[in-house]
C-alpha cells in the first residue's frame, strides 16, 4: 500500500497530497542503527574538557615531609601524594574527545527508519511552502506562532525546508521549542526530538535524496 502525505497550505487547508517513494522508507530494520546514531550524536556534543591534576601537576610537594626512618610514621616522599589531603588525583578525568564514528550506511539507515517512524505516527506535516515571516522587512515571531497554529503543529516543532530563509530563522529563534533547519542537515536525533515535523515539498525532495 502506497504511503501518502496530505499537503497543507498556509491557512491549514488541504492542498493535495504527495506519494512517498518506498525507497525512502524502512520498517523492517534500523532500530539499532537509530540508537547508534543518537548515541554518537549526543557523545559528539560533549565538551570533554573535564580535567584534574595528577601528583605531578599539583604545585609544591618537592621536599620529603620527614625523614625515611626512625620517627614511627609511614614513609612519605611527597605531600602531594593522592592519599594526602591537597594532593593530586590518581585516576581523575582528563581532556578527551567523546566522538564516535558511525558508518555512512548505518547513518542513512537510521535516518530512513526515523523518518518512517515519524510518518507512521502521523507526526510529519507536509506543507506547500512556508510563508514569509517578515513585516516591513522585520521578522515577526507572532507570525510563526500563528502559522504553526493554523496548520495544527503546536509549539514543539522542527521546521525543515530546502533552503533556510534568514527571516524565518530570526522570527523563530525566540521560540524555545521551535527549530528551523535545512533538510540537508537534519539527523535522526533532531528528527525524533520534536513532537511535530513540518517539512515543505522542496525540503522533502532534498531529504529524499539522502534517504533513497
Pairwise CA distance, residues 202 & 144, whole Å = 19
CA atoms of 198 and 172, how far apart (whole Å) = 13
Q: What is the pLDDT along the chain (212 residues), one digit of tens a residue?
A: 678 999 999 888 988 899 999 999 999 999 999 999 999 999 999 999 999 999 999 999 889 999 999 999 999 999 999 999 999 999 999 999 999 999 999 999 999 999 999 999 999 999 999 988 887 778 999 999 999 999 999 999 999 999 988 999 999 999 999 999 999 999 999 999 999 999 999 999 999 999 98
Q: Tell me the C-alpha distance between 211 and 25, whole Å.
A: 8
Nearest alpha carbon to residue 33 among 142, 130, 150, 113: 113
Which architecture, in CATH terms, is 3-47+102-211? Answer: 3-Layer(aba) Sandwich (3.40)
Question: Among positive and negative, which fits the CA dihedral 113, 101, 160, 198?
Answer: positive
pLDDT of residue 177: 95
Handedness of CA 7, 154, 195, 157 (dihedral sign): positive
Tell me if 155 sits within 8 A of 172, measured CB to CB: no
Grouping H, G, I as helix, E, B as strand and the rest as coil, residue 3 is strand
pLDDT for residue 1: 64
Q: Which three cell numbers stand for residue 90?
A: 590518581
C-alpha cell at 200: 515543505
CA distance to 31, 36, 116, 117, per residue, from 28 (Å): 9, 17, 10, 11
3-state helix, strand, coil in the chain (%, to 5): 30, 15, 50
Q: pTM here?
A: 0.84
Look up cell 592519599; give the residue: 83
- The residues of the chain that CATH labels 3.40.1370.10 are 3-47+102-211
Amino acid at each position: 500500500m502506497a504511503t501518502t502525505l496530505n499537503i497543507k497550505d498556509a491557512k491549514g487547508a488541504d492542498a493535495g497530497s504527495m506519494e512517498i517513494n518506498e525507497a525512502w522508507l524502512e520498517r523492517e530494520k534500523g532500530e539499532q542503527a537509530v540508537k547508534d546514531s543518537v548515541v554518537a550524536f549526543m557523545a559528539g556534543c560533549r565538551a570533554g574538557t573535564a580535567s584534574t591534576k595528577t601528583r605531578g601537576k599539583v604545585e609544591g610537594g618537592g621536599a620529603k615531609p620527614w625523614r625515611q626512618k626512625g620517627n614511627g610514621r609511614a614513609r612519605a616522599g611527597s605531600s602531594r601524594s593522592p592519599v594526602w589531603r591537597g594532593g593530586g588525583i590518581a585516576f581523575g578525568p582528563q581532556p578527551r574527545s567523546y566522538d564516535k564514528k558511525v558508518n555512512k550506511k548505518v547513518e542513512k539507515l537510521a535516518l530512513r527508519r526515523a523518518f518512517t517512524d515519524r510518518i507512521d505516527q502521523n507526526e510529519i506535516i507536509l506543507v506547500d511552502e512556508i510563508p514569509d515571516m517578515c513585516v516591513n522587512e522585520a521578522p515577526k515571531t507572532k507570525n510563526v506562532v500563528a502559522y504553526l497554529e493554523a496548520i495544527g503543529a503546536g509549539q514543539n516543532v522542527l521546521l525543515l525546508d530546502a533552503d533556510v530563509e534568514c527571516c524565518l530563522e530570526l522570527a523563530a529563534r525566540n521560540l524555545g521549542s521551535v527549530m528551523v533547519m535545512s533538510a540537508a542537515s537534519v539527523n535522526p536525533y533532531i528528527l525524533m526530538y520534536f513532537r511535530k515535523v513540518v517539512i515543505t515539498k522542496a525540503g522533502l525532495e532534498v531529504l529524499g535524496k539522502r534517504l533513497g
